[in-house]
Amino acid sequence: MSNRFPFLGYGLGLRKEHYPTIFKGSEPFSAEKGSDPLNIDWFEVLSENYLVPGGKPLYHLDRVREHYPVVMHGVSLSIGGNDPLNRNYLRDLKALAKRIEPHWISDHLCWTGTHGVNAHDLLPLPYTEEALKHVAARIVEVQDTLGRRILIENVSSYLTYTQSAMTEWEFLRAVAEQSDCLILLDINNIYVSARNHQFDPLDYLNGIPVERVQQFHLAGHSYSKNGEIIIDTHDNPVIDEVWELYIQAVRRFGEISTMIERDDNIPPLDELLLEMDKARILAKAVLQTGMAA
């Protein structure tokens, strides 16, 4: 059995476009004092934006952290890669965590390059015993270095490997259990991969151990030019099918800290607040009334 971190509620990714609204007046709103008119319970911050000491990004982050719970989300761990783990990156990550005391730190179940070349993409892994041992050992190493458990997120994918000997959800489950890490379940990524690879997203949800899931991501996506595959672009509102899958996820996993992930085509904060509130309302409806999808 795995002990999870406390439930944080419903949050957003921290984006500089929204600073004027978040910092209205001279002080940030105080969510912890229950006076946040935006009703944001917490923020997820992209770790890589704050690893350089000093400067405006850290100044703003410190201000946000004074009043909001924060979690750190990274894209550079390359936990599935075959280059050695980047010790300088881990050192900087640990220093940032010491400074802002995030409730947790997450990264992706993927590889991002090899031989020192960064592909700047979250590339899927072959789901083999060899890859499983490799990834689990590296997560243990990261957790030992950071002195805390981390969350690993499922990525979306557009290809599969002929070598794969298990499903993605079997692989994710085994990785989490062997390394004793927690899971950040991206509901949109499950939907995208299910469409691209023709599997039932409910099989995915049912294959993930309830006690390992700490956080949900909800996001929008785009279609390829020929419309044949869906691309995880985080530049659109969450679609109805993903909301329906979210309802199923809440039914299985219960109340899970959830945030709206928008990385491109950033809309006014109000639009994201509506999506965040929708996630909150739907979860309450599922848990209080047993609402079905």
Binding site for Fe ion (CB under 5 A): 186, 217, 261
- For Fe ion, the closer of residues 48 and 141 by Cβ is 48
Contact 22, 268 (CB under 8 A): no
- For Fe ion, the closer of residues 109 and 286 by Cβ is 109
Cα–Cα dist 219/243, whole Å? 10
**Shortest distance in whole angstroms from residue 184 CB to Fe ion:** 7
**Shortest distance in whole angstroms from residue 34 CB to Fe ion:** 28
**Shortest distance in whole angstroms from residue 188 CB to Fe ion:** 7
- For Fe ion, the closer of residues 58 and 208 by Cβ is 208
**Shortest distance in whole angstroms from residue 8 CB to Fe ion:** 16
Cα–Cα dist 94/77, whole Å? 13
Which alpha helices (DSSP H) does the chain contain, by range? 19-22, 55-65, 87-100, 129-146, 168-179, 187-197, 201-207, 240-253, 269-289
Q: Sort strands 230-231 and 222-223 into parallel, antiparallel or unpaired.
A: antiparallel
**Shortest distance in whole angstroms from residue 129 CB to Fe ion:** 26
Cα–Cα dist 74/27, whole Å? 27
Question: Nearest CA to 249 among 166, 152, 183?
Answer: 183
SS3 state of residue 231: strand
- For Fe ion, the closer of residues 110 and 139 by Cβ is 110
- For Fe ion, the closer of residues 68 and 216 by Cβ is 216
